[in-house]
Amino acid sequence: MPFTYRTPNEPSVRTTRSTTQPPPYVSKQAPRRLRLQDQERVEEKENIPQSIGMPTEILLPSVSRKREPPLPSSTTASLPRETTSSESRIQVRCMARTRIPTPHGTVFLHLYHNTLDNKEHLAIVIDPAQYSTNSQSIAPPIRSRSLDAIWSDDETQEDRILRGAYVGRLTPETRIPSRPIDQSRPPTDVPPPLVRIHSECFTGETIGSMRCDCGEQLDEAIRLISQPIHLSTSSSATIPGRGAVIYLRQEGRGIGLLSKIQAYNLQDVGHDTVTANILLGHKADERGYDIAAAILRDLGLGSEQGESIRLLTNNPDKVMALEKEGLRVLERLPMVPRSWRCQSESALSSSAPEGRKAGVSMIGGDMAWGVDLNKYLRTKVLRMGHILPLSMIDEMQ
């Protein structure tokens, strides 16, 4: 019975078994020059125990870390310029702002464009005092300078209302456009606002993954910022909580969702989160905070002309990154996992308000806990320098 085979780079040939030579062997391995590149990655893999069943001969594909192209010149040219001697500083513009009701109270969601990448980064501003049109409030409003600026000579009040440049409440009867603001008036007796720099996490925030505590941290940050502020220890006077969460589109510590999912599989065969990133051709942490700094400056937070900030983070790199950008970080406040604070599984099923309240993004608003989470957090402390009390997790085990 005749059969057909195709040799490499040859047209289809019709022949018989009796006259046909076996097809030439074609290696399915990558060329040697490709297998030998990135020697540091190979050496890293050689140091990994073989008991996890991952053959060292298999080289995982390298993922390009090339930055995405900047915004079109027609857009970047119209972005407001900072009054700074550093011409290389990233420019941002708040394109839209709107009110979002949450279980922790109302927040104002700001969407930003920038001159570095084509991602839409966000700022979640908690500042209930903005409902008031009184300019003599105790604390200055946390508003975007670029949003309130005049964008063109022919823009209308409707244009400003549409993008969220309004003051007070927006209702069918009340539409008061904002005016360009002066951010140089810091408050006198009001504690600096709380700020959280948060990186996007689809798995933790959308489907409630307990491999990490990202969803819980986002929920907890908004809850903490929303707490009433005591003006002094000698007085019972308070004002509504105020601050901001800068939400950066840096999925998987900057490696993207695809690589993050692959990294989870590597973690399941025995690697920790740091080694998994390295095996995929990434750094342990590829995030940057220059865009966050630019957004904070636009909101009048941390800059010399505005207020200093108190930063909610366990990561000292965030503090150093903001200070390198010239922002004033008065204090670092830890983000201790809720399960660590409860310190027992029985507390996980309790009705404690901070543990069971419906969350901003986590499914059910419950606290994250479990073996995967504890391993992840331990790695962040031991290998990435995060500041968390490991003694608390030891007490739970």
d(CA 18, CA 368) in angstroms, rounded, equals 67
| 129's tokens | 């005092």
Q: What angle do CA 313, 318, 323 make, to 5 degrees?
A: 120
d(CA 369, CA 351) in angstroms, rounded, equals 16
Q: Dump the DSSP string for 275-330.
A: HHHHHTT--S-----HHHHHHHHHTTBSSSSSB-EEEE-S-HHHHHHHHHTT--EE
CB-based burial label for 140 (10 Å; 0-12, 13-18, 19+): buried
Residue with tokens 């927006």: 170
User: What is the b/e burial string over 349-388, where b = at least 16 CB atoms within 10 angstroms of the residue's CB?
Assistant: eeeeeebbeebbbbeebbbbbeebbbebbbbbeeebebeb
Choice among 145, 287, 297, 310 that is catalytic: 287
CB-based burial label for 87 (10 Å; 0-12, 13-18, 19+): exposed
Per the CB < 8 A criterion, the answer to whether 242 and 126 are in contact is yes
d(CA 255, CA 279) in angstroms, rounded, equals 12
The question of whether 285 is a catalytic residue gets the answer yes
| Amino acid (1-letter code) at residue 328 | R
Residue with tokens 């929303």: 226
Per the CB < 8 A criterion, the answer to whether 57 and 36 are in contact is no
Query: Measured in whole angstroms, how far is the alpha carbon of residue 67 from the centre of its chain?
Result: 17
d(CA 243, CA 111) in angstroms, rounded, equals 16
d(CA 146, CA 378) in angstroms, rounded, equals 41
The question of whether 290 is a catalytic residue gets the answer no
Give the 3-state secondary structure percentages of the chain, helix then strand then coil, rounded to 5: 35, 15, 50
Choice among 272, 285, 298, 366 that is catalytic: 285
d(CA 385, CA 388) in angstroms, rounded, equals 9
Catalytic residue annotation? 285, 287
